[in-house]
Amino acid sequence: MHSPYPPEKNWTASDGGDRVAIAEPDWTGGRGAITEVLPRQTQLDRPPIANANQILLVFALFNPPLEPYQLSRFLLKAESTGMDVLLCLNKSDLITPEAQQEIKERLCSWGYEPIFISVKNGLNLDLALTRLQNKMTVIAGASGVGKSSLINALIPNLNLRVAEVSGKLARGRHTTRHVELFELPEGGLLADTPGFNQPDLDCTPQELAYLFPEALQRLAEAQCQFSDCLHSDEPNCAVRGDWERYEHYLMFLEEAINRQARLSQQSDPEATLKVKSKGKGKSQYEPKLESKKYRQKSRRTQLQDLQELYRESEED
């Protein structure tokens, strides 16, 4: 493969995926000074990784249980990065082949072809490995699904920390605390990341449909009457219809519309309402204060509110 980086320099990949130039490297002693960070080709905000070209979404079939709406949210987030999406369903050893078949058909109707794996039994790990070769892949998924266990199985002698899923909710314990990048034995890079249960979507209402393979399929076959159709109750819509995740689409659409309203109120000081966070994702609209002095102050508070909202979704 042709390297896009100048050969006279020592380019390498750092922990967060940045490509850097190193002066006088001592590869065996693991020393050298970073003199330059190359421009990033792709960048993820959460987890913070630069230059990845594939997302490996790991979900557990059981313990923690597979929740379709949560899986949808992760899939949309993954699709919104524009990277290739690879879906692995782990802990196959905990459910019957019949139940697996049912899930397979269901996800197929969503437009995905998951690889059923079991880190415990070594099932389909070779298949997963071939899909990781020569790519820089970021692992994502909720806590406790087995991301670190999978990396341990793929890379011998690594011994990443893993932990039991615990409690009534069968949640993981956020065992992995930071992002780390590993080299695969057959080539390719893989980044372990801390699990998070509720990634925040940041697409606009107009962009949302393009993150659903089912909607794309429908749009390839027919057109909506209106070019700015949001596919909810407009007449002659090609997307609305009898597909399983259409219901998810409508819920995420509402979320995207609310987020857009919030953002436009923030950036438009003439808006007559402002959003005030009430914590735990609830929000309330309040009349805007007219004085300029107050207006400046309230905008600052809004930013804090928003940061708190993000933090809450991170802690979920």
Ligand X SMILES: Nc1nc2c(ncn2[C@@H]2O[C@H](COP(=O)(O)OP(=O)(O)OP(=O)(O)O)[C@@H](O)[C@H]2O)c(=O)[nH]1
Which spans of this chain sit near ligand X (rule: CB under 6 A)? 90-91, 93-94, 118-120, 143-149, 162-165, 172-176, 194-195
Query: Does 22 contact Zn ion by CB under 5 A?
Result: no
How far from 22 is each of 37, 100, 104, 277, CA to CA, in Å? Answer: 9, 48, 46, 46
Shortest gap between Cβ of 264 and Mg ion (angstroms)? 38
Q: Provide the token pair at 81.
A: 């990065």
Contact region with Zn ion (CB under 5 A), list: 20-28, 61-69, 217-225, 265-273: 217-225
* Minimum CB distance to ligand X smaller for 81 or for 143: 143
CB atoms within 10 A of CB 201: 16
Secondary structure class of 54 (helix, strand, coil): strand
Q: Provide the token pair at 267.
A: 């950036």
What contacts 31, CB < 8 A, 6 or more positions away?
A: 25
What CA–CA distance (Å, rounded) separates 38 from 20?
A: 6
Query: Does 237 contact Zn ion by CB under 5 A?
Result: yes
Contact region with Zn ion (CB under 5 A), list: 121-129, 183-191, 236-244, 287-295: 236-244
- Among 252, 283, 253, 291, CA closest to 265: 283
Contact pick of 176, 197, 265, 298 for Mg ion (by CB under 5 A): 176
Q: Under rule CB under 5 A, how many of the chain's residues touch Zn ion?
A: 5
Shortest gap between Cβ of 148 and Mg ion (angstroms)? 3
Residue 211 one-letter amino acid: L
Shortest gap between Cβ of 117 and ligand X (angstroms)? 7
Query: Does 218 contact Zn ion by CB under 5 A?
Result: no
What CA–CA distance (Å, rounded) separates 280 from 88?
A: 31
* Minimum CB distance to Zn ion smaller for 162 or for 237: 237
Contact region with Zn ion (CB under 5 A), list: 144-152, 170-178, 200-208, 228-236: 228-236
φ/ψ of residue 277, rounded to 5:
-70, 135
Exposure string of 97-127, with b = 16+ CB inside 10 Å and e = fewer, is eeeeeebeeebeebbbebbbbbbeeebbbee
Contact region with Mg ion (CB under 5 A), list: 17-25, 88-96, 176-184, 204-212: 176-184
CB-hemisphere CA count at 13 Å for 91? Answer: 17
Query: Does 229 contact Zn ion by CB under 5 A?
Result: yes
* Minimum CB distance to Mg ion smaller for 192 or for 305: 192
* Minimum CB distance to ligand X smaller for 104 or for 174: 174
Interface residues with Mg ion (CB under 5 A) are 147-148, 175-176
Interface residues with Zn ion (CB under 5 A) are 224, 229, 231, 237, 239
